[in-house]
Amino acid sequence: MGTEVVVEGLTKSFGKQNVWQDVSLTLPAGEVSVMLGPSGTGKTVFLKSLIGLLKPERGRVLIDGVDMVNSPERDIYETRKLFGLMFQDGALFGSMSLFDNIAFPLREHTRKKETEIRRVVMERMEMVGLLGAEGKLPGEISGGMRKRAGLARALVLDPQIILCDEPDSGLDPVRTAYLSQLLIDLNAQIDATMLIVTHNLDIAATVPDNMGMLFRRNLVTFGPREVLLTSDEPVVAQFLSGRREGPIGMSEEKDAATLAREQRTSTSHAPRVLAPQLEPSPGLPPRAAVLRRRERVLAMLPHLPEPARDAILRSYAPAGTAGGAVS
Ligand SMILES: Nc1ncnc2c1ncn2[C@@H]1O[C@H](COP(=O)(O)OP(=O)(O)OP(=O)(O)O)[C@@H](O)[C@H]1O
């Protein structure tokens, strides 16, 4: 099972520029979480802080008792081996075949024999649907295939925590839908804790168990997907509906006068309807995280806003009933 990641009071600045402050959240073990936020709100900085590549000036990131901010470098280095990372462009070496790219972490960090390396690489390539493309160079394949190769490489060391930074960037809607399914299928197969940073609303609506959003140097919210998806917080509602009216501006956050003017002139928008979360593809095992999450979320119910509570109860209601009762 994946490992829980506990973030407590994290604050990061570059010189005088504060990126975000006092961020606290827990990525539940084996569950899939998504972090949303307008461009430049520090989502990538957050991912890098989780693996100890950037050092926040305050707070802790606890993984199996190791603090990725303050523990000795030796411990941080060891704990980093629990992570699989998928960056925006796949970060593949252009002169190496896909096979060698995916084998790279195994050759760098393990003493496995070539026969064993071949077995692992082929297994991961099969998982992401790349069998047959072993000999291709990254420049010879499509963007979607490069993403999947990046994902396969992130998987070879059997990570317990997978971080994906904008896995959909540059993909068309159909390929993004396949990628969403792939992320859920992977979670069903390896039960790793996953955090996905994305702007993509379809991924946000259908993939995660939990969602958070960074805005104005703060974590606006983090919790079960239903909380964010039913939130009437202006910044969340604007982001999820892709509207211009709201606190998020083109280049910077809007001033109060502009916001007030928009509120006077804006038309009302229909309430959001929640899309169902994706299920693993036929033939795959059910996601082990689903049962754990159900217990966790039901215990939280009394503390959640009403729309989120209703949405959770509906999602757990037996098929064919109107919801409200949980067996
Ligand atoms: N190494 C660095 N040194 C100085 N400033 C940095 C560094 N890395 C990031 N920043 C700044 O931190 C802020 C947040 O950047 P980050 O890339 O995390 O945003 P983001 O939310 O991932 O954006 P996007 O959605 O556009 O990818 C930006 O203002 C960026 O310029």
15: which residues sit within 8 A by CB, 6+ positions away? none
- Which residue is closest in CA terms to ligand 1's atom 30? 40
Tokens in use for 116?
């064993």
Which atom number of ligand 1 is nearest to the Cα of residue 47?
A: 18
Distance CA 234, CA 252 (A): 16
Among protein residues, the one with the nearest Cα to ligand 1's atom 25 is: 39
How crowded is the C-beta side of 309, counted as CA atoms within 13 Å? 10
Distances (CA, A) of 26 to 9, 32, 224, 286, 324: 11, 12, 11, 23, 27
* Structure confidence by residue, pLDDT tens digits, 3-58: 999 999 999 999 999 999 999 999 999 999 999 988 888 999 999 999 998 999 99
How far, in Å, CA of 151 to CA of 184, rounded?
13
Q: How high is the pLDDT of residue 327?
A: 44
For atom 8 of ligand 1, the residue with the nearest CA is: 45
Q: What are the residues whose beta carbons fall under 8 Å from the beta carbon of 169, sequence distance 6 or more?
A: 88, 89
Taking the CA of residue 199 as reference, the ligand 1 atom at the shortest distance is 25
Q: Which residues of 214-238 are buried (b: 16+ CB within 10 A; e: fewer)?
A: bbebebbbbbbbbbbbbbebbbbbb
Which protein residue's CA is at the shortest distance from atom 18 of ligand 1?
A: 42
Residue 226 predicted with pLDDT over 70: yes
Token pair listed for 243 = 């509207």
Angle between helices 143-155 and 173-190 (to 10 degrees): 10
Highest mean pLDDT among 67-71, 80-84, 164-168: 67-71
Q: pLDDT by residue (tens digit) across 120-170?
A: 999 889 888 888 999 999 889 888 888 889 888 988 888 999 999 988 877
CA 14 to ligand 1 center in whole angstroms:
9
| Contact assessment for residue 193 and residue 2, using Cβ atoms and an 8 Å cutoff | yes
Q: Is 153 in the pocket of ligand 1 (CB under 6 A)?
A: no
Mean pLDDT, to the nearest integer, of 269-291?
83
Our answer on whether the CB atom of 41 is closer than 6 Å to any ligand 1 atom is: yes
**Does residue 321 have a pLDDT over 50?**
yes
Using CB atoms within 10 Å of the CB of residue 25, give its burial: 0 to 12 exposed, 13 to 18 middle, 19+ buried: buried
Q: pLDDT tens for residues 228-246?
A: 999 888 777 777 777 777 7
Which residue do the tokens 């068309």 mark?
172
User: Confidence class of residue 272 from pLDDT cuts 50, 70 and 90?
Assistant: low
Backbone phi, psi, residue 35, to 5°: -110, 120
Q: How far apart are CA 24 and CA 171, in angstroms?
A: 31
CA 258 from chain centre, in angstroms, equals 32
How many angstroms does the Cα of residue 194 sit away from the middle of ligand 1? 21
Beta carbons of 202 and 34 less than 8 angstroms apart = no
Give the pLDDT confidence score for residue 59 in this predicted structure. 97
Pocket flag, ligand 1, residue 53 (CB < 6 Å): no
Ligand 1 touching residue 54 (CB < 6 A): no
Determine phi and psi for 165, rounding to 5 degrees: -100, 110
- Residues 56, 11: contact at Cβ < 8 Å? yes
Average pLDDT over residues 66-80: 94
Q: Cα of 105 to ligand 1 centre, how many Å?
A: 26
* Domain 5-235 in CATH 3.40.50.300: yes
Distance from C-alpha of 38 to C-alpha of 154, rounded to nearest angstrom = 26
Residue 251: predicted pLDDT: 55
- Which residues are within 8 A (CB) of 271 and not within 5 positions of it... i.e. 6 or more apart? none
DSSP secondary structure letter of residue 303: G
Ligand 1 within 6 A of CB of 44: yes
Ligand 1 pocket test: which of 10, 14, 21, 169 has the largest number of ligand atoms within 8 Å of its C-beta? 14
Residue 257 has pLDDT above 60, yes or no: no
112 in Cβ contact with 157 (< 8 Å):
no
- Please, what is the average pLDDT of the chain? 86
Q: Which residue has the higher pLDDT, 327 or 211?
A: 211
Both tokens of residue 283?
A: 């033939």
- Give 47 Cα–ligand 1 centroid separation in angstroms: 11
Bigger pLDDT: 259 or 274? 274
- Interface confidence, given as ipTM, is 0.97
